[in-house]
């Protein structure tokens, strides 16, 4: 089996490609390397270019007419950047995404697994796929807008689509072929690792939220588990969205119970065997209690549940952080 992975040189896309190789699936990667890394596509079938480039997509399918499905991971994803450049985000995540769909349909590729985001939801705990949307950033709104477009397109064309919604991927490929490429991550674990390496205390922003211990709650899932879910979606695609009923289906991925900031600190200390200095701080503008999803649909339809613990993800992230400079060339 072959799959086209757009954004396959990025953190998540390249990890999915690694998992595909381990599972006997040939990944065909399309990436413009604007944020992806050339090291992550070395030795793999790779086309450099834009997902909106119809001639390039046509060439991919001429070279690989046996592509079974597309996994769409190409997107801009940095929330503060989306606030500063909303037009750029809509162009990249919506306009170019729809151009790609047009090219896929022209080439007879009717199966799309879209790497979505649980940021489309309102803050809350135990969120199901039927929960109303309340995206709070231009980035999240582009993901919601593209989902709406996919639902409409699947209603009027031969396209069928599965959207996998998740929050914070952590960890790395167990074989260290791929991992988080940025040195300045904005998610809590990334900030925690950087503060730990620098010997600086980690800030706990807000301690009066309506959660288990008053700290904000987030959801973390090992990127290797995410990769497994994408492979399961490809392999079970014709069963999950057979085309005889609804042709579009969102599926939540995650831990199933979330992690508070204090729980993340304790898990980090479990992994390192050292206390993590931290201090309490006021909630920042725009902060909220956080959210985590229900994953029953993934269990039932994909036969998927996370196989790795939070501690596994932290340990893998620490190993990757230490090894990163030996794997990636300095920019």
Alpha helices per DSSP H over 23-137: 54-63, 79-84, 86-90, 96-106
Q: How far apart are CA 22 and CA 20, in angstroms?
A: 5
DSSP E strand stretches across 151-288: 160-165, 168-170, 202-205, 217-218, 220-222, 248-252, 259-260, 278-281
What span, in angstroms and rounded, lies between the C-alpha atoms of 137 and 186? 15
Task: State the Cα–Cα distance between residues 277 and 295, nearest whole angstrom.
Answer: 33
User: For tokens 């390249």, what's the residue?
Assistant: 14
- Rounded distance between C-alpha atoms, residue 211 and residue 260, angstroms: 8
Q: Give the strand pairing for 67-72 and 111-115.
A: parallel
Contact 12, 35 (CB under 8 A): no
Name the residues annotated as catalytic.
139
Cα(42)–Cα(29) distance, integer angstroms: 11
Answer for the pair 322, 197: CB distance below 8 angstroms, yes or no: no
- Which residues are CB-contacts of 242 (< 8 A; sequence separation ≥ 6)? none
> Which is nearest to 223 in space by CA: 291, 167, 301?
167
């Amino acid at each position: 089996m072959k799959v086209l992975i757009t954004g396959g040189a990025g953190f998540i896309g390249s990890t999915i490609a690694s998992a595909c190789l381990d599972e006997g699936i040939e990944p065909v990667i399309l990436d413009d390397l604007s944020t992806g890394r050339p090291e992550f596509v070395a030795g793999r079938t790779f086309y450099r270019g834009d997902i909106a480039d119809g001639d390039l997509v046509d060439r991919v399918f001429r070279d690989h007419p046996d592509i079974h499905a597309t996994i769409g991971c190409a997107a801009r994803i940095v929330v503060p950047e989306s606030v500063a450049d909303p037009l750029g985000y809509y162009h990249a995540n919506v306009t170019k995404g729809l151009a790609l769909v047009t090219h896929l349909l022209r080439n007879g590729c009717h199966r799309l697994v879209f790497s979505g985001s649980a940021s489309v939801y309102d803050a809350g705990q135990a969120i199901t796929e039927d929960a109303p949307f309340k995206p709070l950033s231009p980035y999240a709104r582009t993901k919601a807008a593209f989902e709406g477009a996919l639902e409409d397109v699947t209603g009027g064309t031969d396209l069928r689509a599965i959207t996998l919604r998740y929050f914070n991927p952590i960890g790395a490929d167990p074989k260290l072929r791929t991992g988080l490429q940025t040195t300045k991550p904005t998610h809590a674990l990334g900030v925690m690792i950087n503060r730990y390496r620098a010997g600086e205390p980690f800030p706990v922003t807000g301690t009066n939220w309506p959660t288990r211990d008053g700290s904000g709650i987030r959801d973390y899932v090992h990127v290797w588990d995410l990769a497994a879910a994408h492979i399961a979606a490809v392999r079970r695609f014709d069963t999950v969205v057979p085309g005889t009923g609804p042709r579009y289906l969102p599926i939540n991925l995650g831990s199933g119970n979330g992690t508070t900031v204090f729980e993340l600190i304790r898990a980090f200390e479990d992994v390192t065997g050292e206390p993590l200095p931290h201090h309490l701080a006021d909630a920042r503008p725009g902060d909220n209690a956080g959210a985590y999803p229900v994953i029953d649909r993934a269990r039932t339809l994909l036969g998927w549940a996370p196989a790795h613990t939070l501690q596994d993800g932290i340990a893998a992230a620490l190993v990757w952080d230490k090894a990163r400079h030996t794997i990636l060339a300095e920019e």
